[in-house]
Amino acid sequence: MRFGVDEAGKGPVLGSMFAAAVLADPDDLPEDVGDSKGIAPDRRQLMADEIRAVAERVAVAEIPVWEIDDEKTDMNTLTVEAHARALSRICVDGRTVRKNGSDELSGFVDAGDTNAVRFGQRLRDRIDADLDLRAEHEADENHRIVGAASVIAKVARDAHVDALSAKYGPVGSGYPSDPTTREFLQAYVETYDELPDCARESWQTSKDALAAAAQASLDAFE
């Protein structure tokens, strides 16, 4: 029995970041579990259901846009916080308690920092539990339990983006490199002269959309 933690949505200009923690026997997980980015969306959704069916505990934590835009923090700190919130939710009285009453104290997290050791220590400092956790780069590829967390987090992020599309119309993936996302931001700012609530205003893509709209307004008066 192990726990795994990973996040999805660290880099988008639109919407929240999500982290997931999964406590399960890695041998019970789907054979094709792994880094969610390499799994087709339809399969990810089915796999998430399969993971939840065999896991002892699954928890998801959300870091909303207003937290991401807080000038007092940064994305590395928020990634640690997201992992901590998710991991804390599978703990009971400071322990990851299994159904049979024994303790499960070890697991892996995908390091959201260039320094994996530092990321792991920062995470331990935020968890009020005696856990043996190891932070590694590419943990979602190297450890099935972290791959399971990656899938759960990505499905939560996908559902979030779907909800944004239902509210605003097509927003794309939310990533700055996505033309649909950039077009959505540009059109919204041109129409309303402000960013949508779902946009991370501290991201350069958002600043560029505002600057382009302002320049367009100036050009219109020339």
Strand partners, 104: 96
Residues 22 and 128 in one domain: yes
pLDDT for position 86: 96
- Least confident range from 2-6, 104-108, 121-125: namely 104-108
Decide if 175 contacts 57 (C-beta within 8 A). Answer: no
pLDDT for position 92: 63
CB contact set of 39 (below 8 Å; sequence gap of 6+)? 32, 47, 151
C-alpha–C-alpha distance, residues 142 and 197, integer Å: 37
pLDDT for position 221: 53
Residues 156 and 176 in one domain: no
- pLDDT tens, residue by residue, 22-72: 999 999 999 888 788 888 999 999 999 999 999 999 999 999 999 999 999
pTM of the predicted model, to two decimals?
Answer: 0.90
pLDDT for position 98: 45
pLDDT for 176 beyond 60? yes
pLDDT for 168 beyond 70? yes
Residues 205 and 105 in one domain: no
50 is in an annotated binding site: no
Residues 80 and 137 in one domain: yes
Decide if 7 contacts 112 (C-beta within 8 A). Answer: yes
Residues 130 and 191 in one domain: no
Residues 156 and 201 in one domain: no
pLDDT for 128 beyond 90? no
110 is in an annotated binding site: yes
Residues 42 and 72 in one domain: yes
Residues 9 and 70 in one domain: yes
CATH code of the domain covering residue 202 = 1.10.10.460
Gyration radius of the chain over CA positions: 19
Give the model's confidence band at 14: pLDDT under 50 very low, under 70 low, under 90 confident, else very high: very high
C-alpha–C-alpha distance, residues 55 and 144, integer Å: 12
Domain hosting 156: range is 2-165
Amino acid at 145: I
Residues 137 and 187 in one domain: no
pLDDT for position 219: 54
Residues 156 and 196 in one domain: no
- pLDDT tens, residue by residue, 188-222: 999 999 999 999 999 999 999 999 877 665 555 55
Residues 154 and 45 in one domain: yes
pLDDT for position 188: 96
Give the model's confidence band at 103: pLDDT under 50 very low, under 70 low, under 90 confident, else very high: low
Number of residues that make up the chain: 222
CATH code of the domain covering residue 9 = 3.30.420.10
The whole-chain average pLDDT of the chain stands at 90
pLDDT for position 91: 81
Give the model's confidence band at 87: pLDDT under 50 very low, under 70 low, under 90 confident, else very high: very high
pLDDT for position 217: 56
**Which of these three, 165, 189, 210, is where a domain ends?**
165
Q: How many domains does the chain have?
A: 2
pLDDT for position 218: 52
Residues 11 and 116 in one domain: yes
- Measured CA angle at 184 (ends 182, 190), to 5 deg: 100
pLDDT for 163 beyond 90? yes
Give the model's confidence band at 130: pLDDT under 50 very low, under 70 low, under 90 confident, else very high: confident
**Which of these three, 165, 184, 212, is where a domain ends?**
165
